[in-house]
Every structure is written in C-alpha cells, then in structure tokens.
Amino acid sequence: MADQALSLLQVNQCMCRKTALGVSHFLFSDLAIICSMNKPANSFKTCARCGRVMTWRRKWAHQWEQIRYCSKRCSRARLRQTDHLLEKAIFSLLCSRSGTICPSEAARVVAPENWRDLMEPARCAGRRMAARGEVVFKQSGKTVDPSEFKGLVRLDQGPKFHEANPGDV
C-alpha cells in the first residue's frame, strides 16, 4: 500500500510539473516509468500455449511465477499431441532444407486432408520455438516479431536451432 501511495504521489508531482511547464496532457510513458518500479525484473514471459509474449499485470503480482498462459482460452486449450507433432514437423522440414518454410507446410505434414484447421496451431508452434531461439519469423526476408506479425510469414533456422533436440520438442 505504501508503494502504491508513493506512486500516486509521484504521479501527482509529475502532473503538476507538466502543468507548470504548459503541457496540457499527461503522457502514459511517464506513468509507465513511475509504475515500473513495482514490477519484477523479469516482467515478460512467453505463453506456454500460443507462444505470445505476456507482460506483467498487477492482478498477477502475487502469482507471477506460476503464470503460464496468457488467457483463459490458452489455459483451457493447453498443449495437445498435435502441437508437439507440429513442432517436430517444423524441425524436420527446416533440417531437410537450406531455406525457409511456411507454417502451412508443417500443417500439411501433420494432417494432409484438413491442414487448414492446423494453421493457427502451426503458427503457435513456431512462436514457441521462436521463444526458445530455435526458429526465426521472416516476412519479405526480414526478421519480424513473432507476437506481432500480420500476414504471410516464413520460418527459418534460429540461433539455437542446432542445439535443439527433435526428441525434446
């Protein structure tokens, strides 16, 4: 509570300084800097299901170390056998080629008939592998953030690809 009161005091002081300088609005970046004092050092995690980056939230403060999933949807879905098969397919396809692969190719290996249903799980498998450093997401030959890309994407070998063991995936 004392930390929270201190933060509110600092917010008020910052707002008063901004008003004195003639700035009519308060920047959220200022608030983020002030509130970051209460965050743990490792305020980012990767969701165990979808591979997206999660940021620390105040409601998770008392259980941050136990948080594994970014949402209730990911928590309910969990990892399935298909997810592990997709990771193995991505790994084997990248081993057999010198270039990049499309996530749809891994989906076609796992389920040739209804591979379209596995497109989002294939991207999720790629994001989990990217979080471990095994693959890199690319668009138009440039590396992109796996949590924020939009559109077509290709997967390439990452810095830790050769350290990965396909049996562990």
- The 10s digit of each residue's pLDDT in 135-159 is 999 999 999 988 888 889 999 998 8
Residue at 114 is within a domain = yes
The pLDDT of residue 51 is above 50: yes
- CA 92 – CA 51 distance, rounded (Å): 20
If one counts the domains in the chain, the total is 3
Residue with tokens 């990767």: 46
- The 10s digit of each residue's pLDDT in 11-37 is 555 544 444 444 444 444 444 444 544
Percent of the chain with pLDDT over 70: 72
* Residue numbers of the domain that contains 92: 80-157
Q: What's the pLDDT at 144?
A: 92
Using the 3D structure, point to which of 57, 78, 99 is the last residue of a domain. Answer: 78
Residue at 169 is within a domain = no
- CA 19 – CA 24 distance, rounded (Å): 6
Q: Is there a single domain that holds both residue 121 and residue 148?
A: yes
- The 10s digit of each residue's pLDDT in 89-105 is 999 999 998 889 999 99
Query: Is 64 strand, coil or helix?
Result: helix
Q: Is there a single domain that holds both residue 34 and residue 10?
A: yes
Dump strand ranges (E) for the chain: 44-46, 53-55, 135-139, 142-143, 154-157
